Amino acid sequence: MSVEITTGPPEVRVPASTEATDTVGTAEAVLSKRTGAPVRLADAEDLGGSDRSVVMRVRIAESPFELPRTVVVKHYGECPVEARSDPFAHEAASCQLTTALPPEARVGPELIAHDAAERLLVLEDLGRGSTLADVLFADDPRVAERALLAWARALGRLHSTTAGCEADFDALMRRLGAKSWTDPVADDIVRSVAELPELLTQILGVDTPPRMVERLTAATELLESSRYRSFSPSDICPDNSLVTGSSGVRFLDFEWGCVRDVAMDAAYLQYPFPSSWCSYALPGNLAESMLSTWRSEIAEVWPELDDDEVLMPRLFNAQLLWVWVSTWWFLPRTGETDRPIDLHMPSPRRSTALVDRWRRLRTDAEEADMVDIAEVADRMIDALVDRFGAGALHLLPYPAFRTA
């Protein structure tokens, strides 16, 4: 039987946008309603947006109340009926949740105003600093290392300050009329467990042993309720992480914000950004340093996660799920070329990224004495190289570390 599916991380699959010409006027109306007096905006600057939304920086030209000098406006188009979740609802609920934190604990922009009917958010302008992607694609390894450690610290702080927030987040999503507020990646993971074995047989000639399916099914328990759940931006990729001088790293995009097990985010520290175009290799022990930094931030809330016997099995399961679902996303189907993860960004080839992830998984499985998983990983590496060439064996480091 032939299997044809269109896959990819959820951030690339929700269409619809609004016209930029309407955004400034709508934002003025929302702010005027919020303050109870006329507000006029000027000097609109397009920040790029996407096919889902228009994003602009605007100056507060006139207001009887004290407002920031500039704000960022994000204006969403209508959510298609067939979409599995609404990015506006996810972002609005996420920003409400994180704005309620003490200012010193916030790792995202403050929500200044929003309007569900207009599908518009007015957010704190975090400035024109570099994103983590900018830093990783520059040429200073020390700056890049500091930024990655700051990113890990910010992620840990976010987890620790939003532990136990699930009921609050659910209530905010219901108030926005959302039909779903689970982790958007969770659905893909469940589908990949069911569908990827047949694809691997068809495309690579690799059979998935029943024991591997059992391991994957057991790992999906991370997607269910646990005492280690916290808020996650979900899409915590380098281009959505702003490196600031005074506030550390701030996360920018909550379109897939959700509550999930913290191990799913911590795995990003070990297998760099598995849902992102920006997925190159890290040097030496930097991933371990990032994990230690994250653990130092969450230890007060979950002291048991500072114990390797508690954390590492959970982290391994998260890594296993990320490798599996990213293979389902990125494995070139029959007739497809082995193209970069993102055609418009400096991405590695899909096969190269996947080989690196399966090699990491093989090493971790061997260290954990999970021989069955290590054997599957070994077969996957050989099959990917046989299919796509020896070049798949060489994932470059991020540019910042290539001259270190």
pLDDT in tens, 102-115: 988 888 999 999 99
Question: What pLDDT was estimated at residue 21?
Answer: 57
Question: What pLDDT was estimated at residue 11?
Answer: 43
Strand, helix or coil for residue 357: helix
Residues of the chain under the 70 pLDDT cut: 1-21, 49-50, 404
Question: What pLDDT was estimated at residue 385?
Answer: 96
Question: What pLDDT was estimated at residue 20?
Answer: 52
Question: What pLDDT was estimated at residue 6?
Answer: 42
Residue with tokens 């589908």: 191
pLDDT in tens, 299-318: 999 999 999 999 999 999 99
Residues 220 and 214: their CA atoms lie apart, in Å, by 10
Domains and CATH numbers, the chain: 128-404 (3.90.1200.10)
Residues 95 and 43: their CA atoms lie apart, in Å, by 25
Question: What pLDDT was estimated at residue 3?
Answer: 34
Question: What pLDDT was estimated at residue 10?
Answer: 44
Question: What pLDDT was estimated at residue 195?
Answer: 96
Residue 62 parent element (H or E): strand 53-62
Question: What pLDDT was estimated at residue 9?
Answer: 52
Residues 364 and 377: their CA atoms lie apart, in Å, by 10
Question: What pLDDT was estimated at residue 129?
Answer: 86
